[in-house]
């Protein structure tokens, strides 16, 4: 990549705002390649330079990605106009203005939510062209039936006058507890699909988004960074190369 201003790089890495970064540099707290840098308007190649703040090396990443086990009661947004946004769950060190939630989850829906700063990745993961599957665990008021399985798979259902893509419904030993895999994400789609079959969703949790599974042992309300293997698989699912991350 080309050269970037040091204050922009440090702000991108979450060190602080540009004004905060400038004050830190003037105090002698910032080093580049072993040398104290007082002027943060100086430019560098962030992928080659060795940057330290208060003696701690910083690894440059152009994009950031988190998987969050979303609890009920939070909205899939970065703003609080309609409720408490999911980003309020993140610790201070992960707070940044450019997070993008990938695929909406209703306020009362739990489970896997991907947060990324990579706009093209977010766009492809939710665009119908790439047919990225989303899998949900669903608890129902009444037992689902083999006929439901056939209807969901047939593509006969529609919402708002538009046909739905075929969906895979899996019945378990208890047909009130099922898994549903969708290739799209319409507004309240899971609830509305079962409502058309005369049933009601009591509980809903997303357990997978493409190749990304809800991590075992990740507590509700907690996020973690994606592993290298998860990133590789996620990028590959939408035809992107996961190079420098």
Active site residues: 106
Cα–Cα distance between 178 and 170 in angstroms, integer? 6
Closest CA to 181 of 156, 211, 159, 160: 211
Closest CA to 119 of 96, 95, 97, 102: 102
Phi-psi region of 220 (alpha: psi -120 to 50; beta: other; left: phi over 0): beta
Cα–Cα distance between 203 and 177 in angstroms, integer? 9
Q: How do strand 168-171 and strand 177-182 relate by DSSP bridges?
A: antiparallel
Instruction: List 110's β-bridge partners, or say none.
Output: 205
Q: Are 231 and 245 in contact (CB under 8 A)?
A: yes
Structure tokens given for 194: 């079962």
Cα–Cα distance between 174 and 189 in angstroms, integer? 22
């Amino acid at each position: 990549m080309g050269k970037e201003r040091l204050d922009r790089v440090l702000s991108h890495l979450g060190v602080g705002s540009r004004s905060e970064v400038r004050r830190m540099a003037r105090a002698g707290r910032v080093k580049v390649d072993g040398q104290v840098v007082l002027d943060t308007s100086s430019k560098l190649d962030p992928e080659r330079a060795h940057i330290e703040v208060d003696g701690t090396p910083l690894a440059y990443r152009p994009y950031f990605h988190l998987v969050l086990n979303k609890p009920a009661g939070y909205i899939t947004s970065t703003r609080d106009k309609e409720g408490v946004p999911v980003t309020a769950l993140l610790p201070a060190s992960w707070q940044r203005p450019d997070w993008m939630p990938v695929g909406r989850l209703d306020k009362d829906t739990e489970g896997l939510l991907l947060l990324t700063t990579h706009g093209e990745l977010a766009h492809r993961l939710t665009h119908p062209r790439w047919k990225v599957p989303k899998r949900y665990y669903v608890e129902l008021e009444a037992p689902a039936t083999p006929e439901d399985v056939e209807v969901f798979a047939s593509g006969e259902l529609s919402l708002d006058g538009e046909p739905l893509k075929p969906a895979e419904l899996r019945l378990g030993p208890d047909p009130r507890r099922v898994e549903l895999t969708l290739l799209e994400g319409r507004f309240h789609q899971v609830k509305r699909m079962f409502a058309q079959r005369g049933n009601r969703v009591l509980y809903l949790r997303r357990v997978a988004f493409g190749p990304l599974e809800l991590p075992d042992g990740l507590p509700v309300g907690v996020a973690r960074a994606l592993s290298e293997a998860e990133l590789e698989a996620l990028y590959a699912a939408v035809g992107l190369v996961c190079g420098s991350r």
